[in-house]
Amino acid sequence: MIKIPYEQVLDKIKSNSELGTEDIEAKIKQKMDQLSGLISKEGAAHIIANELGVQLYDQFSGRLQIKNILPGLRDVEVLGKITQKYEVKEFKVGERAGKMGSFVIGDETGTIRAVMWGDIAEKLNELKKDDVVKITAAYSRENNGYKELHMNERSELEINPDGETVEVKIVEEKQERKKINELKQGDNVEVLGTIVDMFDPKFFEMCSECNKRAKNEGKCELHPESPITYSYVLNAFLDDGTDNIRIVMFKEQVEAFLSQNNEGMLKIKENPESFSEMKQNLLGSIVKLGGKAVNNQMFDRLEFIANKVDLTPDPKEEIKKMEENAI
């Protein structure tokens, strides 16, 4: 199923029927009750749209603006300008080895990461920043709560096609404030709460050449001679009075959260006891985090993947926000 965010389905029904938001939501709730909890809110909204004859997918043929690319599309055409380019990486999964290349493109509606698999990845070497690219027959998916565009052997990539220009607007993702008990899968929001528990950081050996996990006894399968660097992940629990949620932080966010640089982190790795003092200092402190609420399918729970860490939220600002939200 194409993943159209709930709000978008709601808007679509609203603009294509006589019903107001309350009526639509009542119908959705009724449908969920009718199916006794066997269906998600999104799923119920899809059914209601179908019942009302509201076409949800009409904008999904031909060229799409980046903001309209939703996870699960099979045949995407998009025109964008390259804003960032990464190196071609080689990977090996079991007996399968291959190449992967990625870059970021933007248009007037936003940016998206584009990933190329197989021989098409070689095209990366022909690309420069600010090139305009026309991508056809790509597919879209979700990765860690972010939309991505993927290209395979079927896909085509045209560099600087005649007569095509692109204006890039970097859309700063506005992270609206939400309470923890309001969080839903895919929300890209800000939460404010108290750190009530945290776990020891976990360290991972990474290949300095391809930046992938070095899984072969601390060596990269493809670059066994390359030095190892470390990345880390830290889990904590944040409570805002409405509920609590597991926070997942990766390298940069861990460094910001613990006020350490990479060197400091490696000291913690060598001397894990030094972490307990840091932990005591952070427990009970109020922090503001930006990030995405993501469903961890293995444990069937919602987690918050932080991408911004603010250890000293300004109390005045926060009170103002609370008052705004109360209106």
Beta bridge pairs of residue 143: 146
Among 210, 245, 247, 306, binds Zn ion (CB under 5 A): 210
Least Cβ distance, residue 225 to Zn ion (angstroms): 10
Does residue 220 bind Zn ion (CB under 5 A)?
A: yes
Which CB, 60 or 203, lies closer to Zn ion? 203
Which CB, 97 or 196, lies closer to Zn ion? 97
Q: Of the ranges 111-119, 169-177, 192-200, 203-211, which one interacts with Zn ion (CB under 5 A)?
A: 203-211
Beta bridge pairs of residue 36: none
Question: Residue 257 and residue 236: Cα distance in Å, rounded?
Answer: 10
Q: Of the ranges 59-67, 173-181, 212-220, 268-276, which one interacts with Zn ion (CB under 5 A)?
A: 212-220
Contact 254, 265 (CB under 8 A): yes
Among 223, 246, 251, 321, binds Zn ion (CB under 5 A): 223
Least Cβ distance, residue 230 to Zn ion (angstroms): 14
Among 42, 107, 187, 209, binds Zn ion (CB under 5 A): 209
Least Cβ distance, residue 220 to Zn ion (angstroms): 3
Which CB, 224 or 241, lies closer to Zn ion? 224
Cα angle vertex 321, ends 316, 327, to 5°? 130
Question: Residue 8 and residue 17: Cα distance in Å, rounded?
Answer: 14
As given in the structure block, the two tokens for residue 187 are: 């929300």
Least Cβ distance, residue 184 to Zn ion (angstroms): 37
**Cα–Cα separations (whole angstroms), residue 134 to 56, 63, 78, 155, 157:** 25, 10, 6, 11, 6
Does residue 207 bind Zn ion (CB under 5 A)?
A: yes
Burial class (CB in 10 A: 0-12, 13-18, 19+), 125: exposed
Q: Of the ranges 94-102, 207-215, 233-241, 304-312, which one interacts with Zn ion (CB under 5 A)?
A: 207-215
Which CB, 100 or 236, lies closer to Zn ion? 100
Does residue 279 bind Zn ion (CB under 5 A)?
A: no
Least Cβ distance, residue 226 to Zn ion (angstroms): 6
Which CB, 204 or 237, lies closer to Zn ion? 204
Q: Of the ranges 28-36, 140-148, 155-163, 220-228, which one interacts with Zn ion (CB under 5 A)?
A: 220-228
Does residue 222 bind Zn ion (CB under 5 A)?
A: yes
Which CB, 115 or 133, lies closer to Zn ion? 115
**Cα–Cα separations (whole angstroms), residue 319 to 189, 260, 284, 287, 288:** 18, 29, 19, 14, 13
The residue count for binding Zn ion (CB under 5 A) is: 6
Question: Residue 159 and residue 153: Cα distance in Å, rounded?
Answer: 17
Question: Residue 119 and residue 255: Cα distance in Å, rounded?
Answer: 37
Which CB, 192 or 220, lies closer to Zn ion? 220
Does residue 88 bind Zn ion (CB under 5 A)?
A: no
Least Cβ distance, residue 121 to Zn ion (angstroms): 16
Cα angle vertex 311, ends 143, 322, to 5°? 85
Q: Of the ranges 66-74, 114-122, 216-224, 233-241, which one interacts with Zn ion (CB under 5 A)?
A: 216-224
For the stretch 150-157, contacts whose Cβ atoms lie closer than 8 Å and that sit 24 or more positions apart, written own/partner, are 150/114, 150/115, 150/116, 150/117, 151/114, 151/115, 151/116, 151/117, 151/120, 152/117, 152/118, 152/120, 153/118, 153/119, 153/120, 155/116, 155/120, 157/116, 157/120, 157/123, 157/133
Residues at the contact surface with Zn ion, assessed by CB under 5 A: 207, 209-210, 220, 222-223
